[in-house]
Structure 1
Amino acid sequence: MIRRFLKWLSILLIVAATLAAGGFWYTFMSPYGYHPAEPAIIDERIAEQDVFVYGTLRHDWLRWIIMGTPVETREATLEGYRKQDLDILPQPDGEVRGEVLTVNPAALRALDRYERLGVRYTRESVKLEDGTMAWVYKRLPE
């Protein structure tokens, strides 16, 4: 009885893992399922660009899955904004703490896809507290 239960539990776990992996691939890596409303602006001549992240992209393991490589980060602050749910909104005395990733054009393209550039987010250039410029993803109005 226990062996039978473990057999079915194993099958169920394998099917669930396969479906999760397939869903992730379809959403974030496949040529299907993502059709941006606006073309991404990525200058291939610039070898590295900074991206300020303040939400899920602060997780090392998630960035590694999305970009296929680990990326070093540094702590950073974006002044003049406040974080609200999955977005940042202008607020004169606000600040958002996050991290800066330095990425190549291929990694920036992968981040654009993860953030659904043109569908859920737009990518804008902002000046960080330390004076450096970086891209940041901001939610599009629904």
Structure 2
Amino acid sequence: MKGLRWLVSVPIVVCLLAAGGFWYVFMSPFGYHPPQRPVIDSRVDAQDVFVYGTLRYDWLRWIIMGTPRGVRDAELPGYRKQALDILPSDEASVTGEVLTVSPEALRALDRYERLGVRYRRESVKLADGSIAWVYQRIEPE
């Protein structure tokens, strides 16, 4: 009977700790304070964000910001992907997706990417000529 209690209790405790950690990192007012105020124009109803890494997973996007208004395949010329970052490269291009998001969803993405701490958000021109935000890693000092 004691072993059964442990068998049931341990997964429940692990799930609660994981949920608490997720809340602290992505949703609480305590886990993240951007060093500067991010640029988000609330008057613009929808903004495009080019994603090339973990944000291409539907389930992760749903957890972070809900469902984006639109998703389409895209290509970013003049960059190459290196691990968790994209770097300028004349001969290369990065494939990814463009998410069309609300200002609230953009704030959630900024928090996920730790805007100003781990990543900066830059405006880029995609292969189809459209303009989108992209997150680029900040070099550690």
TM-score (norm 1): 0.95
Partner of 1:17: 15
Moved over 4 A (4+): none
Partner of 2:107: 109
Cα RMSD (Å): 0.8
Q: How does 1:1-142 map to 2 (within 5 A)?
A: 3-67=1-65, 69-71=66-68, 72-142=70-140
Q: Distance in 2 between matches of 1:110 and 1:135?
A: 14
User: For residue 118 of structure 1, what is the amino acid of its counterpart?
Assistant: G
Q: Distance in 2 between matches of 1:13 and 1:128?
A: 45
Q: Alpha-carbon deviation of 1:59?
A: 0.4
Deviates more, 1:31-40 or 1:112-121: 31-40
Q: Distance in 2 between matches of 1:28 and 1:17?
A: 16
User: For residue 25 of structure 2, what is the amino acid of its counterpart?
Assistant: T
Q: Distance in 2 between matches of 1:94 and 1:6?
A: 56
User: For residue 40 of structure 2, what is the amino acid of its counterpart?
Assistant: I
User: For residue 70 of structure 1, what is the amino acid of its counterpart?
Assistant: T
Structure 1: gaps (5+ residues): none
Q: Alpha-carbon deviation of 1:4?
A: 3.3
Counting matched residue pairs gives 139
Structure 2: gaps (5+ residues): none
Q: Distance in 2 between matches of 1:131 and 1:54?
A: 18
